[in-house]
Amino acid sequence: MPTPIEFFLDVGSPTTYLAWTQMPGLAQRTGSTIAYRPMLLGGVFKATGNASPVEVAAKGANMMRDIERYAEFYGVPYRVSPYFPINTLALMRGAASCAPGGELERYLGVIFSALWEQQRNLGDPAVLREVLTAAGFDAEDLFARVQTPEVKQALVNTTEEAVRRGVFGAPTFFVGGEMFFGQDRLAMVEEYAKRD
């Protein structure tokens, strides 16, 4: 049986968006299931002493160009968000609130598309409400759920678990006992997932 793939993610990461676009094909080719694990990247950075590559001018410029090249290589839409970087706390709590009800994959599709294809400002609650409603979510219910102690703690728990397991950025994948960081490691993720 193929090894399941854990995908630790934060929607505010453009490289995580790129990785997300490749998951359906990777799952089909390997027969693996993908376990999406929403975490708060800002919390991971704080706990590990890491920082976004865009905080280093030359590294950030190269990364942003690299993202464009990968989007072209993958054949997926990508538009640089004028709102990047964005505080994703509310968005990731939204993801955590959708996991128990089986709505996580649909939620991620809506949010990733709005952020990295449509250039929507999801840091604005009115825009987020509009995007969620248009996609068929009960935005008011979701906004209420993200304020519950249970959802807040669920996101904290996954973020702390990620740090305990060695995660320092997003996207990060686990295949069996192996950790892979970055969307540019997907070929290795796929290879390890195919091993018995």
Domain ranges, residue 110: 5-194
Q: Hunting for tokens 């540019």 — which residue is that?
A: 184
pLDDT in tens, 25-51: 999 999 999 999 999 999 999 999 988
Domain count, the chain: 1
CATH code at position 106: 3.40.30.10
In Å, how far are 136, 183, 190 from 195, measured between CA atoms? 39, 20, 9
Q: Is the pTM of this model over 0.75?
A: yes
pLDDT exceeds cutoff 90 at 59 = no
Q: How far is CA 27 from CA 19, 20, 48, 186, in A?
A: 12, 11, 30, 11
| Residues in contact with 77: Cβ distance below 8 Å, sequence separation at least 6, in sequence order | 71, 116, 117
pLDDT at 196 over 60: no
